[in-house]
Structure 1
């Protein structure tokens, strides 16, 4: 990779070396290690910002792990200052991205920008707005930086729109969006995605239609993914109709079905149980990734094709894909619903021992459901007792469903006490407990559960009806 002593290389040579390996972050970190061990960062060319800028950005492109924490860029920045290198407008955007979860870190970097007169740099100012907004300091700091820009450019306005959406201040985001003098596809996509993330899925679809009317250009992948996500979360046929129109747009305009876009399409069809469409979309995705398999597995497991989900999971493993938490959640869900107890228990064990995937609450809930449906209550309770955290309502709810299935009234009382202790948010589960008592003929217990619900202010969720209007097809 690098032959000879690093001291024999000029700064231009070092720059070329870093540029050549910039697309491979882990290899770039190997270069970093060599620079440190050889003392190259202590030589005269260490006073230039470029090597540090590249190395800081390389750390950002790596996933945060104990061996490569997100604070590594900040440590590099300290080393940069100690070596006498002068940070520039390319240094701080990467640093601010690494500090975006920390208000104090962002403030400290802001002070460094002010000291060096870099806040007038639009790239730096835009990064400050984003960092303050993501750190939850929208009103006091992000807005102040934005206002100090005078006449903000489009990129800065998009950053401000994004942090308003992240903060969940949708009225302010809508007003800001409508007042923007100039908008591009990033502006529209940011607002659509922000609406959907905050649960305003129908509003996201309406804004998307506004984009279609406003733009003559071809829509990008991020825009299509955002609107498909909104469609997947809508109720009734309306969301499916819009989602199918988006799919038609993809086909008609020859948009490449990447893993990112394909996953969103499979997920959208999966939410509506359109398994034939899921399979077809999956086949079309040329470069499949783990997320693509996860979307298909989840669709199959949640819509009566549990055995097929297990088969697809085995195909995924044979294809060399490494399953993650979402993969195993879909697999265990399918095993529980299909009654594949031993297969489910085997993969739950393999998830931890072989694949080193840490189980979440939902995984334990699936195992409890798996055992409970099979009537293996003793093992289900032992699984709950072995959990490394306190079980939530979803876990007790899985056991409650098994009690209803097998008529295990004795265990219902204990589950009821656990649910009451968790709070009044589980109205449907309290109703299930009362109904189990009624079916068993235990009128006293059923009446008592009704009194507990009344005392806790719990009301049965009212049924709802949905009126579906026909949507305008997407051109």
Structure 2
């Protein structure tokens, strides 16, 4: 054990750099340094040991340890330098320690390290990640002659917080852009539901800058979610580009292609893509199972799930959603309940409201509305909109106007601006020949300024 030795600062630096990603080794080195009082402010090297320790704990995901090291550093009167702050700022944002990040900002001001552009750039990122775009902008504006990295960080902060007009304006004003700039704006448009804008910007980009994998994944996501299913055509063109350039279909890129083809209903091509993914991680299996379950092949989806487990790929919460959807489409209630219990237990998955909603859909879709109601009542945290929405959907399928009326009114109370609840309730009342009440529900919806979202077919 390292704890039986005395380490010099030079040895500590060497070992920390060697074991930068080894959590156990870093903890042992840290312990020896503490036990032997090697972290006292004896020389400039002490600062570098602290900085390397902070970065090492950050790299291994021990964010709070990185932050507590800074407290220890100050207590030992070791003065931080500009290189100390970026790792600390990242640790604060990763652990969502907003108050600590703000205090780091104060420390950076006091110690005059904001002259190093890398430090304010880190704060731009921090404030963007914790949902404070105004502070991000203020920090960015204080950077004299921001480089492309600082600009890209500001683009990301805007995109994360729904300020795509500001992001696009900055992007157009940037004297120099790179692939990260383009990708960040495309991804920002997609994350904020502006899929057409994402696709149009990609079309412009392709003639100027070579996209990377992150670009392709972002634009494929927008293609998959584009209204009227029009993105599938472009998605196929992107797939052709990938094949023409002989780009390796990683699990991430393959999952994006699978999602696009799955939502477009092209299972044949989806299966071809799936078989060509060289390293099938859980995300790729999830996308393929979901595509099969959502396109009329639930039995094949369940077979795929069993194959996945036989390949020693552990399912996660998304896998469980896809499997429950497959069971619901096949009305395999007993199997669905069995899988819900066994998968959660064996793979330590904590069910979310989405999982409970899928269970209600599974039970209710099979016509077992009493059992579905009892399941909802059994939930310790109560039913949210996704669970009640699934129950309302079951009522609509089986034309149970009385139960649907009760559930629908609860949902409207939870989501008064959601068009789906009004439409479903109006339909149920019409099915029960309550035409006056059905018309009244539509009238309430119109008077509240709630518009029905038009339906479309991806096959048109």
Regarding TM over 0.5, the answer is: yes
Q: Is the 8 A contact 1:431 1:460 kept in 2?
A: no
* 1:27 has 2:13 as partner: no
Matched, 1:441 2:438: no
* Mapped contact 2:400–2:428 kept (Cα < 8 A): no
Find the aligned partners of 2:360 and 2:406 in 1 and give their Cα distance.
16
Structure 1 residue runs of 5 or longer lacking an equivalent are 469-475
Match of 2:9 in 1: 11
Residue 233, structure 1, aligned to residue 225, structure 2? yes
Offset of residue 85 of structure 1: 3.5
CA contact (8 A) 2:229 2:458 kept: no
Q: Distance in 2 between matches of 1:182 and 1:114?
A: 29
Match in the other structure for 1:186: 180
Q: Among 264, 267, 284, which residue is 1:292 paired with?
A: 284
Sort the Cα spacing of 1:37 and 1:341 in 2 relative to 1 into closer, same or farther, 3 A. Answer: farther
Note the C-alpha offset of 1:307.
Answer: 1.3
- Specify which structure has the bigger relative contact order, considering alpha-carbon pairs within 8 angstroms and separated by 6 or more residues: 1
* Equivalenced residues, count: 456
Counterpart for residue 206 of structure 1? 200
Q: TM-score, normalised by structure 2?
A: 0.90
User: 1:106 aligned to 2:101?
Assistant: yes
Instruction: Please state whether the residue corresponding to 2:230 is helix, strand or coil.
Output: helix
Give runs of ≥4 in structure 1 deviating > 6 Å: 464-468
Q: Which of 315, 332, 335 is the matching residue for 1:343?
A: 335
Residue pair 1:231, 1:240 contacting (<8 A) in 2 also? yes
Give a deviation string over 1:109-143, Cα, whole Å, max 9, x none: 1222233332111221210221123333333x333
Q: Say whether 1:60 aligns with 2:65.
A: no
Aligned residue for 2:356? 364
Q: How far apart are the structure 1 equivalents of 2:453 and 2:8?
A: 74
Give the Å deviation of 1:408.
Answer: 2.8
**What is the CA deviation profile of residues 183-231 of structure 1, one whole-angstrom value per residue up to 9, with x for unaligned ones?**
111111111111111111111111112222222xx43211111111111
Following superposition, the deviation at residue 180 of structure 1 comes to: 0.6
The residue that corresponds to 1:71 in the other structure is: 64
**CA separation of 1:395 and 1:40: change in aligned 2, threshold 3 A:** same
TM-score normalised by the chain length of structure 1: 0.87
Show the counterpart of 1:471. none
Shift in Å, 1:459: 4.9
Q: Secondary structure at the match of 2:154?
A: helix
Is the contact between residue 40 and residue 46 of structure 1 (CA under 8 Å) also seen in structure 2? no
Q: Does 1:252 align with 2:244?
A: yes
**Which residue of the partner structure matches residue 50 of structure 1?**
48
Change (3 A) 1:243 1:160: same
Bigger Cα displacement from structure 2, 188-197 vs 93-102: 93-102
Q: RMSD of the alignment, in Å?
A: 2.8
Q: Deviations over 1:136-179 (max 9, x none)?
A: 3333x333332322211221121122212223222221111111
Q: Which runs of 5+ in 2 are unaligned?
A: none
Asked whether the equivalents of residues 47 and 85 of structure 1 are also in contact (C-alpha less than 8 Å), the reply is: no
Structure 1 partner of 2:128? 133
CA-CA distance at 1:88 after TM superposition: 2.9
> For residues 243-392 of structure 1, what are the structure 2 equivalents within 5 Å?
243-392=235-384
Alignment partner, residue 75 of structure 2 = 82
Distance 1:135 1:439 in 2: 48
